[in-house]
Structure 1
Amino acid sequence: MKALIFAAGLGERMRPLTLHTPKPLLSAGGKRLIEWHLEKFAALGIDEVVVNTSWLAPQFPETLGDGARWGLRLRYSYEGQTPLETGGGMLHALSLLQENTSPQAPFLVANGDIWTDYDFAALPREFDGDAHLLLVDNPPQHPHGDFRLDDGRLHNHDEPRLTYSGIGLYRSSLFDDWRVRLGDAAGAQLQPPRFSTVPLLRAAAEAGRLSGSHHGGRWTDVGTPERLQQLDAALTAAAHY
């Protein structure tokens, strides 16, 4: 299985920390955020990871190299000076994710600016539909959640809803007829296209093609300097416990 790490964002809410360092390369607990993912991916047996880049893109290969130190092969999907958002970024990286593999083989996706104690080995090896998303309890900054989880299926409506963690398994079928599904959405007509995966995931949920599971453990969306500081303090304290 291959994996994709979203690392192209501008990190505007993290400034001034991200003026000179991409957010996934910021450190917490003595490791860069992206390194926590790479270590887990290597332990899972993933051998090839695609990192999408835009803001301060050269720093990723300069810092991470080819991935050999983790026993991985790192490849970089450069999106240009303007990030393509999650949907456009994933679409842009599909050729690398599908190279030398089945067109419908699932691939693991993780946001580069999150930290979790989740064991990636708990993700299902097989699932029906277009994607399987890991959900977490709603954090203070996102109290209303994203999806309702019912018997392994995700739904757009009704309560209670949980928050998408930024970790999931995807298939390229999520992008079947994506232009039709997005319609006149802003960015969809650009070259290259720039759009979010959210409308496609919503459509997959409506069609019964979106499954999910719940992680009740630790998870942090490192979206502000304060959250990064809190995470760093917690991880450093745990390392010395």
Structure 2
Amino acid sequence: MKAMILCAGRGERMRPLTDTLPKPLLEVKGKPLVVWHLEKLSRLGFKDVVINIAHLGFKIPELLGDGSKWGLNIIYSDEQREGALESAGGIKKALPFFDDDTFLVVNGDVFCDYDFDGDFDLKDKLAHLILVPNPEHNKDGDFGLRDDFVTNIDEVNYTFSGIGYYSPKLFKNIANEKTALAPILKKAIQKQKISGEIYNNMWHDIGTPQRLENINR
């Protein structure tokens, strides 16, 4: 399975730190966030990774190179000219990289101990989302989960972790432009085409300077 790390966001809430550095290059425990992902992908047997870049994007390949340091092959999907295409738009631009195979996507600004599954089988689903208990900054959650299917509205909701397995079919009919992921997911959820699971172990969304300081402390 191939993987994609989303690294193109502006990181407005992380300013002023992201005025001079892309958010995925901010360090947790002395190591850039994106490097934690690369090390894990390599350890779990992944070989091919695409990273999308936009805001100060040139700094990411300058640091990571071609991925050979981790035994990986890194391809960069460059959005610097268009500006960040948001999650679905970024995936759409990189879609040819995945052929017709299931692929993994992880947000470049999360820090967690979830082990990516390179053999995950979507069967007839369009996506499988990893959900987590709601953190303080997202108390209402994003999606529900019932009988292993993700729901849009439920009595109990969970937070989308930014980690998911996707079929290229989910993105083939969207335009090549700036597109958010949530509306795409919600339409497929209504058709019961998205499964999910709850991950209860360590997961952090490094979305603000305070959260970054807390995790490093």
Question: Given the alignment of the two structures, is residue 67 of structure 1 paired with residue 67 of structure 2, yes or no?
Answer: yes
Greater than 2 Å deviation, 4+ residue runs: 176-179
Which whole-Å CA distance do the structure 1 matches of 2:208 and 2:164 have between them?
Answer: 23
Question: Given the alignment of the two structures, is residue 125 of structure 1 paired with residue 120 of structure 2, yes or no?
Answer: yes
Task: Tell me the residue number matched to 1:218.
Answer: 202
Percent identity of equivalent pairs = 45
Which whole-Å CA distance do the structure 2 matches of 1:78 and 1:215 have between them?
Answer: 31
Task: Tell me the residue number matched to 1:31.
Answer: 31
Which runs of structure 2 are paired with 1:31-110 in the superposition (5 Å)? 31-81=31-81, 82-98=83-99, 103=100, 105-110=101-106
Contact 1:50–1:97 (CA<8 Å) still a contact in 2? no
Task: Tell me the residue number matched to 1:237.
Answer: none
Which amino acid in 1 is paired with 2:120? R
Point out the structure with max Rg over C-alpha.
1
Question: Given the alignment of the two structures, is residue 136 of structure 1 paired with residue 120 of structure 2, yes or no?
Answer: no
Task: State the 1:167 CA deviation.
Answer: 0.3
Per-residue CA deviation, residues 9-33 of structure 1 (Å, 9 max, x unaligned), is 1111111111111000010112110
Per-residue CA deviation, residues 160-184 of structure 1 (Å, 9 max, x unaligned), is 01010000101111124335xxxxx
Task: Tell me the residue number matched to 1:158.
Answer: 154
Task: Tell me the residue number matched to 2:22.
Answer: 22
Which whole-Å CA distance do the structure 2 matches of 1:204 and 1:15 have between them?
Answer: 34
Per-residue CA deviation, residues 91-149 of structure 1 (Å, 9 max, x unaligned), is 01111222xxxx1x11000000000111224x762123110000000111111111111
Going from structure 1 to structure 2, the CA distance change for 1:47 and 1:124 (only over 3 Å counts) comes to closer
Task: Tell me the residue number matched to 1:186.
Answer: none
Task: Tell me the residue number matched to 1:232.
Answer: 216
Contact 1:20–1:56 (CA<8 Å) still a contact in 2? yes
Which whole-Å CA distance do the structure 2 matches of 1:158 and 1:119 have between them?
Answer: 27
Gaps of 5+ in 2: none
Structure 2-normalised TM-score? 0.95
Which whole-Å CA distance do the structure 2 matches of 1:38 and 1:230 have between them?
Answer: 23
Which amino acid in 2 is paired with 1:220? H
Contact 2:132–2:161 (CA<8 Å) still a contact in 1? yes
User: What is the RMSD computed on CA atoms of the aligned residues?
Assistant: 1.3
Which amino acid in 2 is paired with 1:45? G
For these two proteins, the number of residue pairs brought into alignment is 215
State the secondary structure of the residue aligned to 1:162. strand
Contact 2:106–2:164 (CA<8 Å) still a contact in 1? yes
